[in-house]
A and B are shown apart, each in its own frame.
Chain A
């Protein structure tokens, strides 16, 4: 039983990374109807930003703020940095192409992804980088026979907090209503006096910023980062978005967590599961799409006629 619970916690940790990245995907898709392929690479970019911040400022930060302060400031730095990068990406790669229709937009997104990935490689080099160990607290304890590290708890807690915060903003505030209105119908939203540029600005700052934040936490948790790490997470998060229902905030959260838990349990309990994990995951995705084409909790999208 203890092992099962531990595998569940493992799955939740993996899943919360997927969910955080998936949130950004879903937000952008909901408003822009654009699959932002560059999102995974913005995640990697955030990871590298946090790494650079910790390397350059590590001694100064740890003496002034302590280990937790250092972590918090690195997370904030990467959050802000990736947010700015997201806005720039939108300005450079998406806004000029937007009137041309969806297909050029997707191609532009793919191009942006390649650009970012190679940019990261050119700046930080192709080799693995490791987050400095002295900047990340490492503390393990046993909770009812389950092996848990304090970083795991921190990451799980922060992810859930962020997910609920985003959910709250989008579902309960006036600005969130504007975002939802834009997602439903851009033109009508404009007619109602909603400043669409503001909404897009907000989406492209917050979506990538969340990805960047997931990137730093990923670097702190797994320690090693490399320039092409965004691809794998991008793919899995995209799968999670589809699984949960694209363009839907709780859908992205549930899809990400479910994906993480499913693949962990499969790898943990199925004989030969480590090797067959991804086959299983994508089989599940196909099954879900057959029964529920709009994802697990995706509502039916009204097509504009």
Chain B
């Protein structure tokens, strides 16, 4: 009797362990979300969680994946690379089918390596450094957001050709993402500099997580620029705008796409945040796709307002892409999902159709110039006619 029980247990264990790849009607398909739930960028993590959960509800309402519901488990990476590796290991050991991870390029990188090594598909949603996909091939890594070089090109073109800004000040925070955008912007400005249409009068980094930036601000003011482009995250951007305006800098402030969200306005204060410009992907409310209206209505019904930054939407799109890939693959085998991600053509996300290059970058992401209005909300920027 004892022996028999042992055999039964062993067989069950065998099936549980080794047939996890097949569909089963009762169990939900579990997808991981790694996001900064705590830490410096906690608001982004919170909104990503809300967006992915809203997307999951919509998908489950429409029958899930071939009748099987999906379930989201969350791992907190606290916006730092060390916790990011732990969060990735947590999701890997929980045997999630795929993961959406994460916000911030330096934070995503170690996690992407871990997922890749254990052959699990991961989709980044707020990590735009070029080197994430270009420094080495990670066959299991994808991202639904754009890349820093396209943002740098956009800013250079807009600054010189549309606005006619000549003396340009670039400031970053020496981290992967911030330095990436700044370097790419400098590269994109080079042709204009040769033509004599632009000039970089200031190029320096600040130390993140500090409170007082008056020294670099005074230095920047003395170089007498036409525009001040800050390419890093919102906590420092808010302090910079505030201290800059108080030190008498009146030139336009342009932030890169990790600056705009409600906490930026809160830190800078509405009186200083208004009229600041942002280079970024189109905001949720300016996206016109079949899914966007349904998604944003569902989100608004649940949380009262639409997300205040574009990133969480890309997290939701990560889920939409994964679900489509799992459907296409017809199994939860990770290699099959990765292949399906690469060959995908009809995935509809909130931000439009989702396709990937063979390096895992998303194709065709538009950028736009936004401005904060008097109410502290973003709207598309329309340059005054000259």
Contacts and interface: CB of A to CB of B under 8 A. Distances in A.
Contacts of A277: 207, 215
**Size category of the binding interface on chain B:** 35 or more
A238 B205 CA distance: 25
Contacts of B214: 10, 13-14, 264
B43 to A, nearest CB: 6
Contacts of A127: 42-43, 263
Contacts of B210: 232
Interface in A198-243: 218, 222-224, 226, 228-229, 232
B247 to A, nearest CB: 6
B212 A223 contact: no
A145 B263 CA distance: 34
A240 B351 CA distance: 50
Contact of B219 (A13, A218, A268, A278): A268
Nearest to A136: B269
A45 to B, nearest CB: 16
A222 B211 contact: yes
A224 B238 contact: yes
Interface residues of A, number: 41
B205 A275 contact: yes
Nearest to A149: B246
Contact of A130 (B37, B205, B266): B266
Contacts of A269: 219
B239 interface: yes
A48 B28 CA distance: 43
B218 to A, nearest CB: 6
Contacts of B246: 138, 140, 149
A218 B37 CA distance: 26
Contacts of A140: 246, 248
A125 B38 CA distance: 9
A197 B235 CA distance: 43
A10 B239 CA distance: 15
Nearest to A9: B214
A11 B216 CA distance: 11
Given A232-B209, A232-B210, A273 B38 contact: no
A292 interface: no
A268 B217 CA distance: 8
B269 A10 contact: no
A126 interface: yes
B207 A275 contact: yes
Contacts of B21: none
Interface of A: 3, 6-7, 10-11, 13-14, 17, 121, 125-130, 133, 138, 140, 147, 149, 218, 222-224, 226, 228-229, 232, 263-265, 267-269, 271-275, 277-278
9 contacts: A3-B222, A125-B42, A130-B269, A222-B239, A267-B219, A271-B204, A273-B216, A274-B219, A275-B174
Given A7-B218, A127-B43, 19 more contacts: A3-B218, A6-B218, A10-B214, A10-B215, A14-B215, A126-B38, A127-B263, A128-B235, A130-B269, A147-B247, A222-B242, A222-B243, A224-B267, A232-B209, A232-B211, A265-B215, A273-B219, A274-B204, A275-B204
Interface of B: 37-40, 42-43, 171, 174, 204-207, 209-212, 214-216, 218-219, 222, 235, 238-239, 242-243, 246-248, 263, 266-267, 269, 271
Going nearest first, the 4 A-B pairs with the smallest beta carbon separation are A275-B205, A10-B214, A267-B215, A224-B267
